Amino acid sequence: MNLQVIRGTVTGIAHQAGAIVLQHYNQPHLEETKASVFDIVTDADKASEKLIVDALCEHFPGHHIVGEEGGGMGAPADEADYFWFIDPIDGTINFANNIPFFSISIALTDRDLKPLVGVVLNPVSNELFSAAAGQGATRNGESIHVSAAPMLESAILCTGFPYDVPSQKRINVEPFVEFLSQTRGMRRFGSAALDLSFVACGRLDGWWENRLNPWDCMAGILIVREAGGKVTDYSGGEARLDGKELIASNGHLHEAMRAVIHKYP
């Protein structure tokens, strides 16, 4: 399997999906609620996912596809050796409110959820972040690397909050507040895939979030790692990086971040 060829193919698919999303951006659009009034899908999400799924089925007919809006597609999951995780618009609430911080995220993994190829596109800024396992990470074709910030005092961190905040206790508020007094700044942008990409290129020094889905973070996990960063769960483990609890950093800050987050179970 030539991961660089696949990376190029998926880059093209992401740009096609981005063009569709931009046709809907800053225009009237249809919204539907999913699990709650805070969790929405738009007509642009559906159009973007259809294009991506159709293209992946054409290029990779033996692969299984997991999409945020459409469930399992492509080859049956129990027969496929490779899985695609796609988020047609990561940051739908930003998109729906015409805030230009959202992305298209596409990732290829093996059966054990090991990321092999990741592509994240912000169609508004036309910034495309991508990586292939063992072959580095890029932004618009140029190599990127994580920051060199050595300690929390010189760092800018980022997080996100789950859609079901009213029913959850662990929603990052306590560590967010503590990090405010220990870092150069805290941010909350609203697209995990782009947050991870920003860690990879050094715009952010660290990020953490829980209650994500695999399609939110699989591409970003690989991009951070290939840019020299570190991604683990809250316990520091490498297994099952499916988004339930994730910390990403430049490596230097990882244990300091874990120490703060672990204070708030």
The answer on 92 and 169 residing in a single domain is no
Write phi, then psi, for 126 (nearest 5 degrees): 60, 35
Report pLDDT for 31: 64
The answer on 187 and 134 residing in a single domain is no
CATH of residue 53's domain is 3.30.540.10
The answer on 214 and 125 residing in a single domain is no
Report pLDDT for 239: 53
CATH of residue 161's domain is 3.40.190.80
Domain boundary among 113, 143, 173: 143
Give per-residue pLDDT as tens, 38-83: 556 788 999 999 999 999 999 999 999 998 766 678 888 889 999 9
The answer on 244 and 122 residing in a single domain is no
Residue ranges making up the domain that contains 172: 152-261
Report pLDDT for 241: 63
Report pLDDT for 238: 75
The answer on 38 and 95 residing in a single domain is yes
The answer on 229 and 135 residing in a single domain is no
The answer on 160 and 134 residing in a single domain is no
Give me the percent of the chain exceeding a pLDDT of 90.
73
Domain boundary among 87, 121, 143: 143
The answer on 139 and 31 residing in a single domain is yes
Report pLDDT for 26: 87
DSSP character string of the chain: --HHHHHHHHHHHHHHHHHHHHHHTTS---EEESSSTTSEEEHHHHHHHHHHHHHHHHH-TTSEEEETTTEEEES-TTT-SEEEEEEEEETHHHHHTT-S--EEEEEEEETT--EEEEEEEETTTTEEEEEETTS-EEETTEE-------SGGG-EEEE---TTGGG-S-SSHHHHHHHHTTSSEEE--S-HHHHHHHHHTTS-SEEEEES--HHHHHHHHHHHHHTT-EEE-TTS--S--SSSEEEEE-STTHHHHHHHHTT--
The answer on 27 and 137 residing in a single domain is yes
Strand 156-159 versus strand 185-187 pairing type: parallel
* Ramachandran category for residue 77: left, alpha or beta (phi over 0 → left; psi -120 to 50 → alpha): alpha
What tokens does 59 get? 């290029």
Distance from C-alpha of 174 to C-alpha of 137, rounded to nearest angstrom: 33
Domain boundary among 143, 173, 208: 143
The answer on 135 and 220 residing in a single domain is no
The answer on 126 and 159 residing in a single domain is no
The series of mean pLDDT values per 10 residues for the chain, 265 residues long, is 96 97 85 56 89 95 86 84 96 93 97 94 98 98 98 97 63 90 96 98 96 92 97 81 83 97 86
The answer on 185 and 256 residing in a single domain is yes
Report pLDDT for 244: 80
Total tally of structural domains belonging to the chain:
2
